[in-house]
Amino acid sequence: MEDCPLLEVKELRTRFSSEKGTITAVDGVTFRVDHGETLGVVGESGCGKSVTAESIMRLLNEKSTRYDGEINFKGRNLLSLPEKKMLDIRGNEISMIFQDAMTSLNPVFTIGDQIAESIIVHQNLGKREAMEKAVEMLRLTGIPSPEKRVHEYPHEISGGMRQRVMIAMALSCKPSLLIADEPTTALDVTIQAQILEVINDLKEELNMGVMMITHDLGVVAEVCTRVAVMYLGQVIEESDVDTLFDSPRHPYTRGLLKSIPTITGDRSQKLHTIQGVVPALDNIPKGCRFAPRCPYATDQCISESPLLEALENGQKIRCWHHEEIMKREGVTDVITTAT
Amino acid sequence: MKAYILKRLLSMIPVLLIVAIFVFFLIHMIPGDPAAVMLGPEATPEEVESLKEELGLNLPIYQQFFEWSLHALQGDLGNSLYMNQPVLDAFIGHLGPTLSLALLAQGVSIFLAIPIGVLAARKRGTGVDRTFMIIAMLGMSIPSFLLALLLMLVFGVQLNWLPVAGYSSLGEGLWEHLKYLILPAISLGTIQAAVIARMTRSSMIDILSMNFIKTAKAKGLKQKVVIYKHAFRNALIPILTILGETFGALITGAVVTETVFNLPGIGQLVINAITRRDYAVIQGTILLIAVTYLFLNLIIDLLYGLVDPRVRLNRK
C-alpha cells in the first residue's frame, strides 16, 4: 500500500463534444500526489487545471465528456468506477474546494446544514451528531463562535468566512486527498494567507495529499512541495518547488517567473511579459504548443511536439531545447527569490 | 414581520384609491343619464328620477364620491338592481365556486408542470425536453373554451363519467362538489401548467449551472438530492412569482371557463352584471377583485421569505 501513490494521473485526456466539434481540454496529463504533500498545479486560465481537477472528481457532464488514460486513486482507477462507487469517494475520500466561495455555497440552506449534509451521507450519523461535528469542523478552521455560525446563512458571513466554511465542509469526512481549485483567488491578501495556513495545518493533521490549483506563484512558493506547470492542456514542466524557482527550464515557466515584480529590482525596467496570447482550444498548434509565443522556437518546435522528458534530478520537462537554453542563459536571468 | 405586513397594508391604500376613483367614474362615463341607461328604454321619467335619488346622482360629484367611498370602506358597495341583494353578499356568494375551481386548477397545474419542467431541464436539449416544450407551447396556444368543450365531449358526453355543467356546493358532500369541478379544473389547469412548466424549466436550467450545484455534487450527494433539494429549492423562487400570477388569473380570469361549464362563480357574476347593466355589481366586483389581487401578492411576498432566507424579514 505504501508504494501505491495516493493519486496517480496517467496520460489523462479529457474531451468535450460540443456543437463546434470535439475539444480536448486536457491532453495527456501525468502527475502524482503523495500522502502529506502539496502539489501545485500552475497555469493561466483555460490551461486545463480545473478540468483536470473536475475529471479526477468526475464532476463533468459525462454525456458530453470522454476520458482516456488513468486516474489511479489508492490503486483504483476512478475512470472505470461506476457512478455509485464515485458517490462514496466524492466528499469522503477526495474533497474539493472551489474558487468562488461566494457562489459555491447554497444560499437557501444554513451553513451548519450544508456541512452536516456530507457528514450524514458519508458517516451514517444522525442530524444532531452531524451538527455537533459541523461545529467542531468550523472551530478547526478558525471561525469564532461556531455554535452560532452554524445557524447562519451564507449571505450573512464574509467571503473569508465562507471559504473557511467550504474548507470545513470539504474536510468534514477527513479525506485523504483535497483538491483546492484556486481557493484564495477571490479573497483579500491578508485573508489569503490565513486560508492557506488553515489548509496547511489541516493537511499536516490529517496527513492529506493536497492538489493546489492556482495561477499565483506566490501561493506555490508558500505552500507547495512540488509543482506541475500546465500550458494548453498539457503539463510542460514538473519539479520540486525549489528547483522550479531556482532553475526553471521551460521557456514558459521562465517567462512566468520573470513576470513577477520584485521589491529589489530596478524600477525603471519594464516588467517582463510573455508575448502573444494563449491559442484557443479548437486551434491548438501542431508542434510544441508554446512555440508561437516562444522566443527560442525553431522549425522543429513548430512541426514536432516534444514529450515530457524526465531528468536525473527528478525534474520533468516538455521542451526540445531546454538544455541549450539553460547553457545559454543560465539561471541568473531568472529571479531566485519569488516569495 | 408585523411591521412589514403593516407597511404593505398601508401601501395598498393608494392603489385602492386609484381603483376606487376609476370604478366610481365608470358610472359617470355612461353616455347620457346613467339612471335612464340602467333602467332601459321603457322606464318612466318618475322611475328614472327615483333611481337618481336613490343612487345620489343628484348630488355634486365630489360628494357622491365621498359618500360612495365611505360606504365602500364599511363594506357597503350598494345593492344589485336585479338580484335585490347587497353587492358584497353577491360577491361572497359567488366566491365559493371560483375559489374551489382556482385551487383545484392550480393543483392540477402544479402537479403537471413542476415534474415536467424539472425533467425537461435535466434532459435539456434532448428529445424528451423538446417534446415536452412543444406540448407546453401547444398548451399555451389552445383557447381555454376549446379544451373545455373537448373535455366535455369526451368525459361528459361520450364516456358519461362526469357532469358537463352545473355546480354543487361543498356542503352537499366532497365528491358532489368535486365532480362538477374536475373538468373545468383540468381545462384551466393544463393551460396554466404550460406557463409554469416553461418557467420551471428555465429556472432549473439556470440553477443547475450554478457553482453550488457543483459543490453539492462534489460532496458525494446523489443526483436526486442535488436536483430536488439543492437545485429545486432555489429554482422555486421565480416559480413562486409565476404561481402567484397564475392564481390571480385563475380567480379573476376564469370567466370563459365558468360560462362554458355554467359555474356560478365570480366570472358569471361579472358577465351577468355586464349584460344586465347592473353597474353597482360591476363596480363592487372590480374593487373586490383588486383587493383580492393585492392580498394575493402580499401572501406571495411572505412566501418568498419562507423559501429564500435572503429576503427573510424577521431578521434584521
Q: DSSP states of A228-257 as a string?
A: EEEETTEEEEEEEHHHHHHS--SHHHHHHH
Cα gap A7→A75, rounded to integer Å = 8
B115 versus A18: the higher-pLDDT residue is B115
Q: Is A14 exposed, middle or buried (0-12, 13-18, 19+ CB in 10 A)?
A: buried
pLDDT band at B313 (very low <50, low <70, confident <90, very high): low
Residue A200 to chain B, least CA–CA distance (Å): 21
Shortest alpha-carbon distance between residue A171 and chain B (Å): 10
Sorting pLDDT into bands at 50, 70 and 90, what band is A148? very high
Q: Which residues of B touch A (CB under 8 A)?
A: 210-212, 214-222, 230, 233-234, 307-310
CB A91 to CB B221 under 8 A? yes
In A57-136, at which residue ranges do the beta strands (DSSP E only) sit? 65-73, 76-77, 94-97
In a domain, B118, yes or no: yes
3-state secondary structure of A339: coil
Section A29-35 average pLDDT? 93
Q: Which of A90, A108, A110 is opposite residue B307, by nearest beta carbon?
A: A108
What mean pLDDT comes out for the span A259-283?
79
Chain B residues with CB inside 8 Å of A121's CB? 219-221
Q: Does the residue B175 lie in any domain?
A: yes
pLDDT of A125 higher than 80: yes
> Does the structure show a pLDDT above 70 at A226?
yes
Nearest to A57 among B218, B221, B234 (CB): B218
Confidence class for position B314, pLDDT limits 50, 70, 90:
low
CA distances from A27 to A77, A288, A304, A319 (A): 18, 13, 16, 16
Rounded distance, CA A141 to CA A289, Å? 41
Confirm whether B15 is domain-assigned.
no
Find the closest chain B residue to A123 by CA distance.
B220
Contact A108 B215 (CB under 8 A): no
The cell for A71 is 486516474
Q: Which of A150, A97, A91, A96 is nearest to A122 (CA)?
A: A91
**Count of C-beta atoms within a 10 Å radius of residue A1:** 5
| Candidates A59, A89, A103; nearest CB to B212 | A103
CA distance B36 to B76: 23
Q: β-strands A94-97, A7-18: how paired? A: unpaired
Q: Which domain holds residue B185?
A: 97-311
Identify all chain A residues contacting B307, using CB atoms and an 8 Å cutoff: 108
pLDDT for position A336: 43
Residues A106, B215: C-beta atoms closer than 8 Å: yes
- CB contacts of B308 in chain A (<8 Å) are 107-108
| A54, A91, A103 ranked by CB distance to B219: nearest | A91
Does residue B217 fall inside a structural domain? yes
Interface contacts A/B by beta carbons within 8 Å: 73
What is the ipTM for the molecules in this complex? 0.86
Q: Is the pLDDT of residue B232 over 90?
A: yes
Contact (CB<8Å) A121/B221: yes
User: b/e map of A95-129 (b: 16 or more CB within 10 Å)?
Assistant: bbbbbbbbbbbbbbbbbbbbbbbbbbbbeeeeeee
Q: What is d(CA B180, CA A186) in angstroms, rounded to the nearest whole number?
A: 60
Pick from B10-24, B64-78, B221-235, B290-304 the range whose average pLDDT is largest.
B221-235
Q: Which residue has the higher pLDDT, B175 or B228?
A: B228
Give just the sign of the alpha carbon dihedral B226, B227, B232, B235.
Answer: positive
Residue B117: inside a domain, yes or no? yes
**A163 and A101 Cβ atoms separated by less than 8 Å:** yes
Q: Which residues of A touch B (CB under 8 A)?
A: 54, 57, 59, 86-92, 95-96, 98, 100, 103-110, 117-118, 121-122, 153, 155, 166, 169-170
Contact list in B for residue A91 (CB cut-off 8 A) is 218-221
Nearest CA in chain B to A104: B212
> Mean of the pLDDT values across residues B148-158?
84
Which range, A288-297, A326-335, B278-287, is most confident?
A288-297
- The residue type of B186 is I
Asked if the Cβ–Cβ distance from B219 to A117 is below 8 Å, we say yes
- Answer whether B218 sits within 8 Å of A59, measured CB to CB: yes
Between A106 and A337, residue with greater pLDDT: A106
Compute the distance between CA of residue B90 and CA of residue B68 in angstroms, rounded to an integer: 18
Q: Which of the 8 DSSP states describes residue A78?
A: G
Quick one: pLDDT at residue A62? 83
Judged against a pLDDT cut of 90, whether residue A67 lies above it is answered with: yes
Cα distances from B55 to residues B43, B45, B89, B225, B276, in angstroms, run 16, 15, 19, 63, 17
Does residue B315 surpass a pLDDT of 60? Answer: no
Q: Which chain B residues have a beta carbon less than 8 Å from that of A61?
A: none
Angle at A125 between CA A122 and CA A130, to 5 degrees: 95
**B279 or A138: which leads in pLDDT:** A138
Tell me how far apart the alpha carbons of residues B174 and A142 are, in angstroms, rounded to a whole number.
59
Provide the pairing of β-strand A209-214 with A177-181: parallel
For residue B164, CA distances in Å to B145, B156, B160, B177, B260 come to 13, 5, 9, 13, 9
Nearest chain A residue to B231 by CA distance is A106
| pLDDT tens digits for range B172-193 | 777 877 888 888 888 888 888 8
Q: How high is the pLDDT of residue B219?
A: 93
Confidence (pLDDT) at B312 = 67
Please state the rounded mean pLDDT for residues A77-85.
92
Cell triple for residue A290? 508554446
Instruction: Let me know if residue B50 belongs to a domain.
Output: no
* Residue B166, in any domain of the structure: yes
Among B207, B214, B215, the strongest candidate for a mutation testing the A interface, having the largest count of A CBs within 10 A, is B215
Residues making up chain A, counted from first to last: 339
Q: Helix or strand or coil: residue B66?
A: helix
Which chain B residues contact residue A65 at CB under 8 A? none
pLDDT at position A85 over 80? yes
Distance CA B148, CA A55 (A): 52
Query: Domains in chain A, please, with CATH?
Result: 7-230 (3.40.50.300), 246-329 (no CATH)
Please tell me whether residue B308 adopts helix, strand or coil conformation: coil
CB atoms within 10 A of CB A271: 10
Reduced to 3 states (helix: H, G, I; strand: E, B; else coil), residue A264 is coil
CATH number of domain containing B266:
1.10.3720.10
Per-residue DSSP letter, A71: E
Into how many domains does chain B fold? 1
- The single residue listed with the C-alpha cell 353597482 is B280
Q: How far apart are CA A303 and CA A220, in angstroms?
A: 33
Give pLDDT, residue B205. Answer: 93
CA–CA min distance B3, chain A (Å): 22
Assign B316 a pLDDT band (cuts: 50, 70, 90). Answer: very low
* Residue at B27 is within a domain: no
Cross-chain CB nearest to A91 (options B220, B233, B307) = B220
